[in-house]
Amino acid sequence: MTAAGLDADQRARVRRWVVGGHRLVTPDPNLLTALGVGRGPATDIASVRMDGVSGDALWPAPRMVQPLLGRVRAVATARDAVVAGVADVGKGQVLALAVDPFGDGLEGHELLPALGRVADSFARAPDGPQRTGAEVYLDPGSLHNGVSAKPAELARRLAGARIVHVAGWNADNGDPRFDYDYRALIDALHARGILAYAWVEPPFVSLRFWLDHPECREKTATGRDALVDWRRLIALEDPHCFDLAAPVFRKIATAYPFDGVDVAELYFEPDRMRDDYTPFHPSALAQFGGDPNADATAFRAFRTRLVTDLNDKMLRLFNGVANARNLGFTLTVIDNKADPAFGQQIGSDIDALAGVAARNGASLQVEDPFTQWALGPLRYDTLVSHLAGLTPPVPAYVDVNVVDREAGRPTPAMTGAELDLAVSSASQGAGRLALYSAGTIGEGDMAHVPAAMAGTAAIFDTGVRSLWTVTARAPNGKDRRLTVDGVPWPAGPGLAVIPRGEHRLVWSTGTAIGPALLRFTGELGAAAVSTTSLRLSYDSRGAAYAVVDRRPTNRPSVADPAGGFAVRLPGAGTNTVTLAFHSGGRSLLPFFAVGLAVLVAAAGALLLVRRR
């Protein structure tokens, strides 16, 4: 809290309150003095080391700071100077801040990136609601920071996600010994109630295809084979090459039990470096019918039309596979609204691509270009508003790239409060978002995503209000009986999946009414529970997963390692499903409670301040 305007008597009252056993977070120098926290001479500080942040957090600019003195347990330091720390004050404590994280128009993450979570833990804030709406990209072949590629470990790490987009090119390598075990990963994800989508990255097809078909390699403006960054680009604009690649794409969607397909980032390389500029394969030049150097404007327009056409062709290909009716589809593109010049360079027109998605029954996932990544986490407010105005209307949501950026401030990649704010901002329009990637986001950050996605939900003494389905917590974290708007509800131990809207929640002690719904990936509309049944009404564009605390008798299920049983449910619109159970079926909630501890994260103080 800040204490601007408090007089001496009010500061004394605050001190008595803290001394009596309470906890306070404040940067106010006068209040810190009243609490007995000393300050040293001002020193110039440009970065800090902080609990929960790897490496230095670089400040926007150096500033003069009076460090904390006395018996303070450091939370953030700059060399020997304590910038944030905890001090005992009688029976209570203060989390003292030598800088105001919101001063001078700051958003709260720039100086002390982990402060929101530190303050949340320090203040022992009650757990807030969570939202199961995140989609996480996973390439098992490019994991970092000691992240294990073992399927069971990856599924555990991503337990808060709704969908995992799995790189689809790791089963067609030059040597089959290096092919990844997709089935084991998909089974591990399904066991935790997580959907798995095949993620393809055309014009890249696979390493084997690149090696076997040199005639189909895309060419750059200098005539070299288009190996750009990690992608080996194929001239899919050539009908012959597209036909050769089609079986590779079809196989990934049909040979494994994926729940959907994500056609991602099908664009052409920009002309910032002529050695990377595409497409200059003979087939592309023949279709253009002119000299790209003589008419650069016309060539760029041609590229944009070709990108749109190829995205449409890819989605039509997947809509034609045998199991298409059981698949969800996503089209991932790069925004051209915030930076039209860059959008033109890569051939991206999200209005045209929205039409492609709509015609092919796909959701549109939009990532902001790297030119925007230094603008702060709330830049997604603008992108969300752009997506709301797309014509034709299409289910659209944001893709957040959590990768190292050129500015490197406050941290090389988003973490802590900055990532929490980005997740909350990006998900506010659709209740869903994508995150790149499992290999770049730390486990602690991943665990906070469900809470950050529920940042717009409001908790009252009487219940909860949210734009989307959320998981709410009982005030004491233990009650197992619940009514929602007077209706008996399938609550778990201190938690319940609640539909969107405003609802009155009444928790009570006692034995659970019947089976418990522990996790759900669809949009819940209504629920009813008896001692032997659980009825769910919901919306879901694709298949949905429910995790319940006992094994159903009328539908297949698989044991969730975190506790309970995962059940696959039909999607493609509005559905009502009844799960049947044996009377007095055994609950696995004690095991679930252990797993839940990894996932539960309160909506941090910074998110609350942001939304007020």
Q: What is the pLDDT of residue 144?
A: 81
pLDDT of residue 328: 96
Alpha-carbon distance of 561 to 191, in angstroms, equals 7
For the stretch 536-573, pLDDT in tens is 999 998 899 999 999 999 999 999 999 999 999 998 88
> 584: pLDDT confidence band, cut at 50, 70 and 90?
low
Cβ–Cβ under 8 Å, residues 401 and 367: yes
Q: Residue 171's pLDDT is what?
A: 87
Q: Examine the pLDDT at 588 and tell me if it is beyond 90.
A: no
Cβ proximity of 198 and 190 under 8 Å: no
Confidence band of 607 (pLDDT split at 50, 70, 90): very low
Mean pLDDT of the chain: 93
**CA dist 603 → 51, 112, 116, 117, 455 (Å):** 19, 17, 9, 9, 6
| Predicted confidence (pLDDT) at residue 100 exceeds the cutoff of 80 | yes
Q: Return the domain boundaries, the chain.
A: 8-124, 134-453, 458-599
Which residues have CB under 8 Å from 280's CB, separation 6+? 218, 219, 220, 221, 223, 292
- The one-letter amino acid code at 559 reads A
Q: What was the pLDDT predicted at 226? A: 99
Say if pTM beats, i.e. exceeds, 0.85.
yes
pLDDT (average), residues 599-605: 31
Q: What is the pLDDT of residue 313?
A: 99
- Residue 417's CB: how many other CB atoms inside 10 A? 31
Q: Does domain 134-453 have CATH number 3.30.360.10?
A: no
Q: What percent of the chain has pLDDT over 70?
A: 95
Note the pLDDT tens digit of each residue in 326-363: 999 999 999 999 999 999 999 999 999 999 999 999 99
The residue type of 602 is: A
Please give the CATH number for the structural domain made up of 8-124.
3.40.50.880
Nearest to 204 by CA among 193, 214, 217: 217
Please report the pLDDT score of residue 571 as a whole number. Answer: 87
Task: Kindly report, residue by residue over 202-254, the tens digit of the pLDDT.
Answer: 999 999 999 999 999 999 999 999 999 999 999 999 999 999 999 999 999 99
pLDDT of 468 strictly over 50: yes
The CA distance from 145 to 599, in Å, is 21
Q: Is the pLDDT at 378 greater than 50, yes or no?
A: yes
Q: Given pLDDT bands bounded at 50, 70 and 90, which one contains residue 445?
A: very high
Q: Is the pLDDT of residue 593 over 50?
A: no
Q: Which residues pair with 577 in a beta bridge?
A: 536
**Residue type for position 469:** T
Residue of 564, 576, 493, 571 whose CA lies nearest to 527: 576
pLDDT tens-place string over residues 282-335: 999 999 999 999 999 999 999 999 999 999 999 999 999 999 999 999 999 999
- Same CATH fold, 134-453 and 8-124? no
pLDDT at 598 over 90: no
- pLDDT tens-digit readout, 11-52: 999 999 999 999 999 999 999 999 999 999 999 999 999 988
Residue with tokens 């997947």: 318
Nearest in space to 50 (alpha carbons), one of 15, 81, 16: 81
Give the pLDDT confidence score for residue 173 in this predicted structure.
78
Q: How is residue 236 written in tokens?
A: 């899919």
